[in-house]
Amino acid sequence: MATATPEEARVQIVNMVRDFVKREVEPVAAKLDEEDIVPHDLIDQMKELGLFGITIPEEYGGLGLDYTTFAHIFEELSKGLMSISGAIGTHHILAYVINHYGSEEQKQQFLPDLASGRKRGGLALTEPSGGTDVANLQTTADKDGEEYVINGSKMFITNAKYGDAFCLLARTDRSADPKHRGLSAFVIEKGDPGFKVGRELNKLGYRGLDTCELIFENFRIPAENLIGSEENQGFGQVMSGLETGRINVAARAVGVAQAAFEAAIRYSQQRESFGQPISQHQAIQTKLADMATKIQAARLLTYDAARKKDDGGRVDLESGMAKLFSSEICQEVAMEAMRIHGGYGYLKESAVERYYRDAPLMIIGEGTNEVLRLVIAKQLLRLPEYQL
């Protein structure tokens, strides 16, 4: 039997995810959102589908797929319920950092369990005192013999309650100048009393997924949990991982925007006013045309960033552009969908009401859009001649 081409493999897995979303996720999405229920049964099914190991190499038990397929999967999941994609979002950032910067021993130790979903991962980055100023983070990791002692706290951590392992960025050199050169990345796991999960956060949207504080009080970890072979390399490691995070957030935004558009176009064909479906009114047609065009532009930006990530090298410019544009378009399209629905779009029973509440997460998450504009501009100014 002939081996499937990468494109054929992508179509197969994306169709599988699409069927899973329609069959299992869409029927319960409203309930999960309304009651803020973490759907452990759906997450278990995602493990069985291999979605916890999308880009983890096959030699460590993953699917070994490319970032274009990765983006397609996040788009399909988010069309059903954006929160469900969060279970594997920062999980894959942890896996990425280990796979690209960890030792072979670390890969063997952690990647198989992450690929199967036996361990759920996350990213312990943001702190209560500041989110976007990563270089100035306050959590410390002090070497004590064959261990590091961690003190500090992290905020807005996805998978904090039900996750098992996290990529922690902490300060190992207090005197480093500039400050980002004094940061190191570690793999940390639950089990020690010095590692506590704080309060669970009650969010506007992104419901049905645990988001909490993490608190470290003299939390000891083995020295071999330092990612890579030397200290103070963590900033670059995590920033590279965040490129994949921005691709997945951009894809989520495309998925939510597409779902909002599809709801709006269906409603416009069913709802009548002045003796005809509102889809026949020019004002509605103009909205639909703009929505579809902008979603497709966002999708193309997202898949362009994914393709370039597959080619290797930095894509902070491309992933930043994709996340910035897609998230802003998602918020705009969700609002337009609500306008097309009129009063019905404002009701809790309407899916577009959920899309409107979920959209801001993509604007804020994985770097606020205000900061991403600065990242994009800095990259542009470094180029002798701007060419995509």
C-alpha separations of 223 from 139, 230, 231, 232, 309 in Å: 17, 11, 10, 14, 31
pLDDT of res. 1: 45
Residue 29 and residue 42 in contact, taking contact as beta carbons nearer than 8 Å:
no
Whole-model pTM: value is 0.96
Is 306 or 9 the better-scoring residue by pLDDT?
A: 306
Residue 229: pLDDT band by 50, 70, 90 thresholds?
confident
pLDDT value at 67 more than 80: yes
pLDDT of res. 10: 87
Is 206 or 7 the better-scoring residue by pLDDT?
A: 206
pLDDT value at 310 more than 80: yes
> How many CA within 13 A on the CB side of residue 260?
34
Closest by Cα among 124, 137, 243, 123 to 180: 137
292-305: average pLDDT = 98
pLDDT tens digits for 144-189?
999 999 999 999 999 999 999 999 999 999 999 999 999 999 999 9
Closest by Cα among 50, 352, 62 to 205: 352
Closest by Cα among 124, 121, 110, 123 to 52: 121
Q: Please, what is the average pLDDT of the chain?
A: 95
319-324: average pLDDT = 98
pLDDT value at 386 more than 70: no
d(CA 90, CA 111): 14
pLDDT value at 141 more than 60: yes
pLDDT tens digits for 31-51?
999 999 999 999 999 999 999
C-alpha separations of 101 from 76, 187, 229, 238, 346 in Å: 29, 12, 9, 10, 47
pLDDT of res. 59: 98
Query: β-strands 183-189, 121-124: how paired?
Result: unpaired
pLDDT of res. 5: 78
118-131: average pLDDT = 92
Residue 2: pLDDT band by 50, 70, 90 thresholds?
low
> How many CA within 13 A on the CB side of residue 46?
28
CA 3 remoteness from chain centre:
31
End-to-end Cα, the chain, rounded Å: 40
Domains of the chain, earliest start first:
6-119 (1.10.540.10), 122-234 (2.40.110.10), 236-382 (1.20.140.10)
pLDDT tens digits for 183-218?
999 999 999 999 999 999 999 999 999 999 999 999
Residue 8: pLDDT band by 50, 70, 90 thresholds?
confident
Spell out a b/e string for 238-262, using b for 16 or more CB atoms within 10 Å of the CB, else e: bbbbbbbbbbbbbbbbbbbbbbbbe
Active site residues: 366
d(CA 55, CA 65): 5
96-116: average pLDDT = 98
pLDDT value at 388 more than 80: no
